Structure formats: C-alpha cells, structure tokens
Amino acid sequence: MTAKTLGVLLVSVMALFTAFYWLTDTQRRDARYEELQAELLEYGAVVFGPPTDEHPATANCAQCHGPDGTGGQVGDTGVQAPNLHSRSLYEKLQGNPDYVNLVIRYGGVVVSGNVESLMPAWSTEVGGPLTIEQIDALTALVESWAEETGREAPEEVPDTVEAGAEVYQTAGCAGCHGANLEGAGNFPNIQNIGEAPLTNEDLPTPISQEEQLIADYEEDPRMMLERWIRDSANNYNDGQGTGMPAHPEGQLPDDALQALITFLLDQTGDGGG
C-alpha cells in the first residue's frame, strides 16, 4: 500500500467518524432535551396539585382549575376558574407567547384588567409564594395543554344558548359580570339584557353615544351587542375606554360571539332565562 492510499484511507475514516459522532450527538442532545422537558412537565404537575401524601405542599392550582386543569368553581363565590385546555388560551398565546407566564406571575388582572380577579399573583417578585423555577414548570405544563388543544381542528361553536353559556365562562365575561350575570361593584348586572340595553342610568361609566346604542338595540339587539362586545369604546363612547375590554376576532371568533349573543338575548329578568 502506498503512503498516498494510506493517507486517503485515514482521512476518509476520520471524516466518517466525525459525521457519525456529530449525528448521534444531535440525537443525544435531542433525547436529553426531551428528558428535561418531561421532567419540567412532571414537576409542573406536582406544583399544580392537588396535594398528595408525597407532595403535600403545592400551589394547588387544582383547587380552582380542577385536578386536570379543565376548570372548576372557585369555592362558593359562583365564579368559574377557566379551563386551561381551551382553544381561547391557545389563541391568546398566539397573540402573546408570554401570556401564560404573565398570568401566573401577576394574576388575573392580566386576563381581564380586573384588579379584584380571584386568580392570585403567584410570583415572589410581587409577594406570591412561587419561585421562578416553579412558575416556569407551571408555564410549560399549561402551555402544553393549550397547544395540545390548538393542534386539534377547531370545533365550530353551535349557535345555541348552551354553547353560548359556555363561551360566557371561557371568554372571561364571568370574571367581571359574575357567573350568573349578577354583576358586582363597577361591573353591571346584565341579567335583563335580552329585554333592554343598559343606558347611562345603569352604566357605571356613562357613554357619549348612548342614543346610538339605544337605536341600535331597537333596530337589532344582536347588532348592538356585537358592537358593544367587540369594541364598546370605539363603537359607543367616541374612543374613550368604558371599563369593558374589547374582544377582537382573534380572541373571540365569530361563531363563539354569535353563540354568546344568543345566550345573552335569552336573559330576560332575574337570573332565570
């Protein structure tokens, strides 16, 4: 064998070895990543609760959001803690990739602007009980739930009172107007909204386009509610905030909005309907 052949052989073997090592190393890195991700989710599930004998001290998000995170009642307040496997959460994450992390750190005020929201702030930064590591693990867990739902084909929301009642809870309306539309403080009671709109007499923040709102309701209550829910400030208050947040299409798709309005128009009187 000549020295030249030997040289070529040696270089080829080295190249093959490098390629082989590099390839399997990526696989090792991927495998390690998956492993860490799985550990993070597992830790997140422990912090989420419910507490067990093995892990008695957890944040116990489960007491409100249910043991599997599909939503539940907050004690006997009548308020519903939302389903964390929801499409609406997935959509909020598309708009703001930090959304889940921010809600967990700073609480329900991030969801609705309601400073009295029953969803607490958890971060030690603001006096809460959870460390950054615990919040990161919870964020990964909740995001994995929302993303799983997001990957499924979106289900058309049927235009029924029942489906609308569910939208009322999941879209965050209940966080301000109460589980039974009864209102509280600056958030008005809307239990009679199927009969009449609220006018400046009942609105905590009087609106400048009251006449327009009344005329719209008389012409077509569905249209008035659509305009109010989508953007009350721009449609009925000359662009000034009303205390009620806007609900753009990305956040509340049209089929969900129509079902929601069907539910609202069914509300005629004192909580019955």
List contacts with ligand HEC (CB under 6 A).
59, 61, 63-65, 74, 79, 81-82, 84, 86, 88-89, 92, 100, 103-104, 108, 111-114, 117-119, 122, 138, 142, 171-173, 175-177, 186-188, 190, 193, 197-198, 203-205, 207, 213, 228-229, 242-245, 247, 260, 264
Of 14 and 118, which CB lies nearer to ligand HEC in the complex structure?
A: 118
Q: Which of 187, 51, 68 is nearest to 117 (CA)?
A: 187
Residue 32 dihedral angles phi and psi, to the nearest 5°: -65, -40
Question: Is there a contact between 176 and 190 (Cβ–Cβ < 8 Å)?
Answer: no
Smallest distance from ligand HEC to CB 80, Å: 7
User: What is the CB-side half-sphere exposure of residue 88 using CA atoms within 13 A?
Assistant: 24
Of 153 and 224, which CB lies nearer to ligand HEC in the complex structure?
A: 224
Smallest distance from ligand HEC to CB 53, Å: 20
Of 15 and 241, which CB lies nearer to ligand HEC in the complex structure?
A: 241
How far is it, in rounded angstroms, from Cα 86 to Cα 62? 16
Smallest distance from ligand HEC to CB 85, Å: 10
Smallest distance from ligand HEC to CB 180, Å: 13
How far is it, in rounded angstroms, from Cα 45 to Cα 89? 18
Of 13 and 186, which CB lies nearer to ligand HEC in the complex structure?
A: 186
Question: Is there a contact between 157 and 107 (Cβ–Cβ < 8 Å)?
Answer: no
List Cα–Cα distances, 130 to 47, 142, 146, in angstroms: 9, 16, 22
How far is it, in rounded angstroms, from Cα 82 to Cα 64? 9
Of 12 and 96, which CB lies nearer to ligand HEC in the complex structure?
A: 96
Of 108 and 273, which CB lies nearer to ligand HEC in the complex structure?
A: 108
Smallest distance from ligand HEC to CB 15, Å: 50
* Dihedral over Cα of 159, 268, 245, 67: its sign: negative
Smallest distance from ligand HEC to CB 194, Å: 10
Q: Which two tokens stand for residue 168?
A: 């009322």
List Cα–Cα distances, 214 to 201, 218, 221, 228, 270, in angstroms: 12, 6, 9, 12, 21
Smallest distance from ligand HEC to CB 172, Å: 4
Smallest distance from ligand HEC to CB 162, Å: 16
Of 59 and 163, which CB lies nearer to ligand HEC in the complex structure?
A: 59
Of 163 and 176, which CB lies nearer to ligand HEC in the complex structure?
A: 176
How far is it, in rounded angstroms, from Cα 128 to Cα 150? 30
Q: Which two tokens stand for residue 268?
A: 């005629």
